[in-house]
Chains A and B, each alone.
Chain A
Amino acid sequence: MRARYSLYLFTVPALLVIGLFFVHPIILTFDMSLTNFAGIGEAKDVGWRNYERIFGRDRYLREIWLTLWYTVIVVSALTVTGLFFAAMLHRLPLIRNFSRAALYTPAMMSFVVVGYVWQFLYSPLNGGINVALRDLGLGAWEQNWLGDPAIALYSVAFTQIWMFTGFTCAIFLAGFAGIPEEIGEAGRLEGATSWQRFRYLELPLLGPSITVSVMLTTIGTLKTFELPFILTKGGPDGATRLLSIDIIDNLFGQYKFGFASALSIVMLVIVLIVAFIQNKVLRDREQA
């Protein structure tokens, strides 16, 4: 048995790297979150005051809600768009592989590039979207997409949905591929329409794919930072000020390392709670 345990020596390099640059930093983040550390000089112990400030002010509670709301929008939309394209492409083998790769292409690109391109698409004067609307005779629909606090968050979300539709579509296509041929065949013989086959035969069998897709996109979306950072910097008027934006702003805009650390810990706890609840709910439903 001793020889078996010596096998754990193999984990040493990985644990060393993860310990030094992941576990240790997380502990340090927590330590710093109890201080007013400002990057240089003495860090004074302030106890739980940073946390009291976060949960005592509407501003930060609002950012937490905004982050969760943004995630709900993006994840729901990605599930629907991914399912839609996957269901269609599952029925159209001729164009399936090409379309799957084409839809996935934006997910291969950097948030920086996607952010800049969409910033220009959204720009109020000569931006692609407003010009296209004007050319189509829909000038009345023109908007200041990123400048209007009422719609800025949805514009950012739309970009993220565009970027990752190919990702959820690919997951669902893999799920469709796992459904036995006979099931669709049986439905067709019974005279079920395409929608009925999707709704009553395929959708119930896609449970595991939906679980995977929702969990991956939720974690990914909760972590969103780059897109709003490039597109709006949290503006206008705080409309897209997600928790992550505030963390980086406190950190490298104002050098409030202590407070930024407290925000980071709150963020981490939220991610873990959401992941845990989702895992529980979705797995239970799958088994039911």
Chain B
Amino acid sequence: MSLSETATAHSATSLDWDLIRRRGKSVFAHGIVLGLVGVMLLPLIYMVMMSFKTSTEIAQDPLGLPNTLYWGNYMEALASMGYVRSVINSMGITVSVILVVVFAGAMAAYPLARLENRISRVIVMVMALGLATPNFVTITPIYVIFRDLGLLDSYLGIVLAFAALKLPLAVFFYTSFIAAIPIELEEAARLDNCNNWQVFWHVIRPLLAPVTATLSLFVMIMVWNDFIYPLLLLTDKDKLTVMIAVYKFVGNTGIDPTKLFPAAVLGSIPLLIMFAVFQRKIMAGATAGAVK
């Protein structure tokens, strides 16, 4: 073996070592990060696991896997927390809020995106104030207003209260989206003697579908999960939303794990299914503000 051949062979093996080391490092990095993600998911795994355990199992082996898939806890929760009714209520309220917010929001955004003057700036400022205001700041007067108007315990009242809370977000979503629509599209329609409404309805509205989808998902997440408004504005047992049903069911039992965990799973499952289906849209919407 000549000297040069040895050198080549040597460098080849050292290159391989390098590759192996890099591969090893990569596998290691993937393992560590997946492990950490797994740790972050532990509370959710714990929640599901606990929901299938009998109270004896929980007492004897608080962290162990359930021996069998015990559905008894779910049966009991379904029977006494008014789950189905509350899901229907939440869905009805959510859909109504989305309708109001999408309609009023898209309409309001149109002039704000097209006219730049003091009026637009003032309206945008009110919207920004609306985004920053915690909802417990307005809950006192809303409670009083609703009581005086007889809107307490009514779907109409809570839908309007939610709509006022979420409209600023809708207006911001739509304003930035409409501003990006080329004005030439409108001008063509105006030459055909379309009035403002016709331009909005026939030119702008059909283009809003993607942003409407994202917005609807966001409003749905917020309305479904919200707690203060329905807690204070709805008291009729038949009008409760899912989260209030969970709160009342768990809160009334002095934190009994066989009730807490199935109720937690039942309360979360509809949105988690939505998340699994629309994951891309939701993630894109969540980060829309970051990409400018």
- In the complex, the answer to whether B137 meets A264 with C-beta atoms within 8 Å is yes
For A216, the chain B residues whose CB sits under 8 A away are: 289
Q: Min CB distance, A145 to chain B, in Å?
A: 13
Cβ-based interface call for B164 (8 A): yes
Prevailing SS type, chain B contact patch: helix
User: Counting chain B CB atoms within 10 Å of each CB, which of A7, A39, A95, A271 scores highest?
Assistant: A7
Report the interface size for chain A: residues with CB under 8 A from the other chain.
Answer: 96
Which segment, of B13-21, B78-86, B254-262, faces chain A? Answer: B254-262
Please name the residue on chain A nearest to B139 by beta carbon: A251
For A264, the chain B residues whose CB sits under 8 A away are: 136-138, 140
Cβ-based interface call for A41 (8 A): no
- In the complex, the answer to whether B289 meets A7 with C-beta atoms within 8 Å is no
Cβ-based interface call for A170 (8 A): yes
Which segment, of A46-54, A69-77, A113-121, A147-155, faces chain B? Answer: A113-121
Q: Mark B260-280, 1 if CB is under 8 A from A, else 0.
A: 110110011001100100010
For B250, the chain A residues whose CB sits under 8 A away are: 116
Cβ-based interface call for A135 (8 A): yes
- A68–B144 CA distance with the chains assembled, in angstroms: 29
Q: Min CB distance, B251 to chain A, in Å?
A: 9
- In the complex, the answer to whether B137 meets A29 with C-beta atoms within 8 Å is yes
For B132, the chain A residues whose CB sits under 8 A away are: 219, 271-272, 275
Within 8 A of B (CB), among A251-265: 251-252, 257, 260-261, 264-265
Within 8 A of B (CB), among A155-199: 162, 165-167, 170-175, 177-178
- In the complex, the answer to whether B290 meets A117 with C-beta atoms within 8 Å is no
* Number of A-B residue pairs at CB separation under 8 A: 258
Q: Min CB distance, B214 to chain A, in Å?
A: 14
- In the complex, the answer to whether A95 meets B104 with C-beta atoms within 8 Å is no
- In the complex, the answer to whether B114 meets A248 with C-beta atoms within 8 Å is no
- In the complex, the answer to whether B59 meets A94 with C-beta atoms within 8 Å is no
List 29 A–B pairs whose Cβ atoms lie within 8 Å, in order of A's numbering. Answer: A7-B115, A8-B115, A11-B111, A13-B104, A13-B107, A13-B108, A14-B107, A14-B171, A15-B123, A17-B164, A21-B142, A24-B141, A25-B145, A29-B137, A32-B141, A95-B37, A99-B37, A105-B272, A108-B268, A108-B271, A110-B246, A113-B267, A118-B43, A172-B290, A174-B291, A225-B134, A251-B140, A264-B137, A271-B134
Beyond known contacts A21-B161, A131-B62, A135-B63: 16 more, CB 8 A cutoff: A4-B115, A13-B103, A13-B104, A13-B108, A20-B164, A22-B130, A99-B34, A108-B275, A113-B268, A117-B264, A118-B43, A123-B255, A175-B291, A226-B227, A251-B139, A264-B136
Q: Which residues of A contact B (CB under 8 A)?
A: 3-11, 13-15, 17-18, 20-26, 28-29, 32, 39, 85, 88-89, 91-92, 94-95, 99-106, 108-113, 116-121, 123, 126-128, 131-132, 135, 162, 165-167, 170-175, 177-178, 208-209, 212-213, 216, 219, 222-223, 225-226, 244, 247-248, 251-252, 257, 260-261, 264-265, 267-268, 271-272, 275
